[in-house]
Amino acid sequence: MLGVIILAGGEGRRMHGMDKGWCRFSNGESFVEIVMSQLEQLGQYNEGKRVKLVISANRNLQAYQSLGKAVVPDIRSGFHGPLAGIESVMSAFQHASISRWCTWPVDSVTVPNEALQRLVAMDDGKIGYLADAHRQHFAHLSIPSSFRASISGYLNGGEGSIKGWLTQQQDHVVPLNLNPAERIENCNRWPLTADGTNDVIRLESGG
């Protein structure tokens, strides 16, 4: 089974402390709902195998739970970044038959089909991260479940950078380069507009 983590557990420091999952476009759609609906397509790229979608969140837990997906808060106190969220979800499902986890930040509201295909198609023993023509996206990952202990050890050492952890695992890491026409948009700063439509995003404190 494939596991998919929506990373929604951050402090939102560049968004005036807002919970990014519950930021909404002016049409009323929240980031988390938009991303979730797109990630649910992963099953068609996973040869019909089951996909477990989990939300990593540390605030507004009841609102996230109302979406009908498993919600896992960080097992470490305080905010330690997305890698701590990944560790927490992997730990919560360590006894499930999930061989690989794909991760997607909740503020990446566009989910290109090619990106989904590349994440799912990773070889069993490799870690992949997405890259487009503009930048590397270290939080868009495909990770074998066997790397959970490595993540925990890295965090126990006081580190938290995904890029830093990937550097430690460089013999196992593969960049997944997208077609130049594909681009991953991150809505992680305030003020915001929706790319291409100039549709103003309205921020809310909760779901």
Instruction: Check if the beta carbon of residue 143 is closer than 8 Å to that of residue 103.
Output: yes
Residue 14, pLDDT score: 62
Please check whether residue 207 lies inside any domain of the structure.
no
* pTM, rounded to two decimals: 0.88
Residue 190, pLDDT score: 47
Q: How far is CA 86 from CA 61, 103, 148, in A?
A: 17, 8, 9
Question: Mean pLDDT for each consecutive 10-residue tract of the chain (207 residues)?
Answer: 92 69 86 93 75 95 97 90 97 95 93 90 90 90 97 96 96 91 68 43 44
12: containing domain: 2-202
Please check whether residue 193 lies inside any domain of the structure.
yes
CATH of the domain at 184: 3.90.550.10
Please check whether residue 100 lies inside any domain of the structure.
yes
Domain count of the fold of the chain? 1
Residue 157, pLDDT score: 95
Q: In what order do the strands lie in the sheet with 24-25?
A: 24-25, 199-202, 193-194
Residue 13, pLDDT score: 63
